[in-house]
Structure 1
Amino acid sequence: MKIIIHTRHAELASDFKEIAEEKLHSMERFSVVIDRIEVEVTHEANPRQGKNSHKVVITSHGSGPLLRAESLGFNDVAAFDDAIKSIELQIRRIHEKDKSHDRQTLRTMKVDLSD
């Protein structure tokens, strides 16, 4: 999975890139195909937007499903955490749909006793 981070009018926290890569790579535990993820961080300079001054948009691209989440926060890491929760919820829903719920268990298997 390729991770691309864009910033607009913002300076990222020193540990933002490591946190983002760690959390996005943890999404691979669901067997959903994601080729590329773009993270866009925007900073609003208006002081009246203090609690919502950072906006993070996460978008996935590739052969898998399109995933997109937006979040506002007081800093880039807080906004990213809210957005990644939304992406994780979307991936969980897709993963649950792909599961095979009609599996055979030992109780429901038919046994041939003709031997």
Structure 2
Amino acid sequence: MDIVVKGHKTEVPERFRKHVGEKLEHIQKLDHKVISLDVELSKERNPRQAERSERVEITLHSRGPVIRAEASAPDPYSALDLASAKLDAQLRKVADRRRVHKGPRSPMSVAEATAKLSSAPDVATPEELAEPVSRTKIGCLEVEGDGPLVVREKTHAAVPMALDQAFYEMELVGHDFYLFQDTDTGQPSVVYRRHGYDYGVIHLKIEGQ
């Protein structure tokens, strides 16, 4: 298992790199399919955020879905402890799901539980329809609002998947949305978390197809 430790606009002490290797060594016992772990350390410079000044993000790559966990704390070691605990919980969730689906009784899929989404169109709120106050051009990006601005670009390999799998993988990476290609429609789609425990789905229909 490869462990890559990097800093985002901050230096990573060698002592911390060594501690990361020792702290995450047990991950292979929880997931035998793990290929690599990416650990990113970043620092919040705002003195008002002193209690959350150090942030650690762990991304696990395996032959299964990508799993991500992140946490913030006053020091990087505490942030690593919190992120590691979240990653362990995610891995146990994956293991439990595998055991349940291998049994004689499978639980209702998220797609079935959210079937009403396909028949009930989402209605935009007034806030979503409102025009932005200002727009700023930065390279090829047009940014709404005044900032502060943080631009990060990530590229991930895409595998077509069903709706319930997309919801499941969104939970594993800990995000409020997940971009995927729907196996039923072939369309680029996004699942996202709404208020409370509600979910939404957006399908992108390409003109001429």
TM range, normalised to the smaller chain? 0.7 to 0.9
Matches within 5 A, 1:18-97: 18-97=18-97
**1:6 match:** 6
Could you tell me how far apart the structure 2 residues matched to 1:31 and 1:59 are?
13
Per-residue CA distance 1:49-81 (angstroms, 9 max, x = gap): 111111111111231221101111101111111
Could you tell me how far apart the structure 2 residues matched to 1:22 and 1:97 are?
28
Q: How far off is 1:44 after superposition?
A: 1.3
CA contact (8 A) 1:34 1:65 kept: no
Q: How far off is 1:101 after superposition?
A: 6.0
What RMSD, in angstroms, separates the aligned Cα atoms of the two structures? Answer: 1.9
Q: How far off is 1:18 after superposition?
A: 2.0
SS of structure 1 residue aligned to 2:25: helix
With normalisation by structure 2, the TM-score equals 0.45
**1:108 match:** none
CA contact (8 A) 2:31 2:91 kept: no
CA contact (8 A) 1:41 1:54 kept: yes
SS of structure 2 residue aligned to 1:70: strand
Could you tell me how far apart the structure 2 residues matched to 1:3 and 1:72 are?
20
Could you tell me how far apart the structure 2 residues matched to 1:86 and 1:76 are?
15
SS of structure 2 residue aligned to 1:37: strand
Could you tell me how far apart the structure 2 residues matched to 1:96 and 1:14 are?
36
With normalisation by structure 1, the TM-score equals 0.77
Q: How far off is 1:14 after superposition?
A: 4.8
SS of structure 1 residue aligned to 2:34: coil
AA aligned to 1:79 is: A
AA aligned to 2:64 is: G
AA aligned to 1:6 is: K
Per-residue CA distance 1:18-60 (angstroms, 9 max, x = gap): 2211221201112441111111110112211111111111111
Identity across the alignment (%)? 28
Could you tell me how far apart the structure 2 residues matched to 1:4 and 1:31 are?
17
AA aligned to 2:2 is: K
Q: How far off is 1:97 after superposition?
A: 2.9
Segments of structure 1 that go 5 or more residues without pairing to the other structure are 103-115
CA contact (8 A) 1:71 1:83 kept: yes
Segments of structure 2 that go 5 or more residues without pairing to the other structure are 105-209
